[in-house]
């Protein structure tokens, strides 16, 4: 017998789609820019907002938040309550010693945090406090990049311990280059299953005509 189906209201392609659209907001955005996001419709089609590198780690696992970053966090917390996006904290830049370059600080601080179990625990607890205070539910790793197998093992262990310490509904994600890199691909200690999301940094894709892109697939942690 022919099937009978009740009329259904139409659903937009956006509302029906099962995907997420992420956007990074960097710490160097002006305060007026960030404040304007609630009225200029940038949140209309974004599911996830990542605040990039305004909160910076120290070698002992403590965190530094400057006055501009604090104002960003306050504004974005209010926007999250209004628009309901998923809200993540991202870290790359680290607190520098006097006379130290930004690149050297990143290597020194991240290696100090990841290589010591007690420092990893301190760092994770401080991250949890920032996420809780700002209605966040995710942390994004953006160190670019561990240089040895040992460093990769420590980095992965930090993410693993963070997953164990986080509430179930919080997420841990990581960023990767948009091209094959021995710093990523050749490490036997990288474990994609540790992460809920793996992001490929698309600005690394070649833009010239006629260049094909290598296709890389990554397992979703959950």
Average pLDDT per 10 consecutive residues for the chain, totaling 222 residues: 52 64 93 94 92 97 97 97 96 97 96 98 98 97 86 93 97 78 66 88 53 40 35
DSSP character at residue 200: E
Question: How confident is the model at residue 12, as a pLDDT?
Answer: 60
Whether residue 106 contacts residue 94, with contact meaning beta carbons closer than 8 Å, is answered with yes
Q: What is the pTM of this model?
A: 0.82
- CA dist 95 and 126 (Å) reads 15
Give the alpha-carbon dihedral of 158, 113, 105, 133, to 10 degrees.
Answer: 80
153: left (phi over 0), alpha (psi -120 to 50) or beta: alpha
Please say whether the dihedral angle defined by the alpha carbons of residues 184, 189, 193 and 195, taken in this order, is positive or negative: negative
Question: How confident is the model at residue 104, as a pLDDT?
Answer: 96
């Amino acid at each position: 017998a022919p099937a009978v189906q009740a009329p259904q209201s139409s659903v937009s392609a956006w509302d029906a789609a099962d995907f997420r659209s992420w956007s990074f907001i960097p710490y160097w955005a002006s305060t007026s820019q960030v404040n304007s996001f609630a009225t200029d419709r940038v949140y209309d089609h974004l599911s996830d907002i990542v605040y990039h590198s305004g909160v910076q780690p120290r070698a002992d696992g403590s965190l530094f938040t400057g006055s501009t970053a604090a104002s960003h966090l306050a504004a974005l917390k209010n926007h999250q309550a209004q628009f309901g996006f998923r809200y993540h904290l991202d870290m790359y830049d680290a607190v520098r010693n006097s006379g130290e370059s930004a690149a050297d600080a990143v290597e020194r601080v991240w290696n100090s945090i990841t290589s010591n179990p007690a420092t990893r625990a301190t760092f994770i607890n401080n991250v949890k406090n920032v996420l809780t205070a700002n209605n966040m539910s995710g942390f994004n790793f953006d160190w670019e990049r561990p240089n040895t197998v040992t460093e990769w093992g420590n980095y992965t262990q930090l993410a693993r311990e963070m997953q164990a310490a986080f509430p179930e509904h919080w997420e841990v994600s990581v960023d990767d280059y948009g091209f094959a890199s021995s710093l990523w691909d050749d490490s036997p200690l990288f474990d994609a299953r540790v992460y809920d999301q793996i992001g490929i940094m698309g600005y690394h894709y070649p833009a010239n005509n006629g260049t094909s892109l290598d296709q890389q697939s990554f397992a979703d942690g959950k």
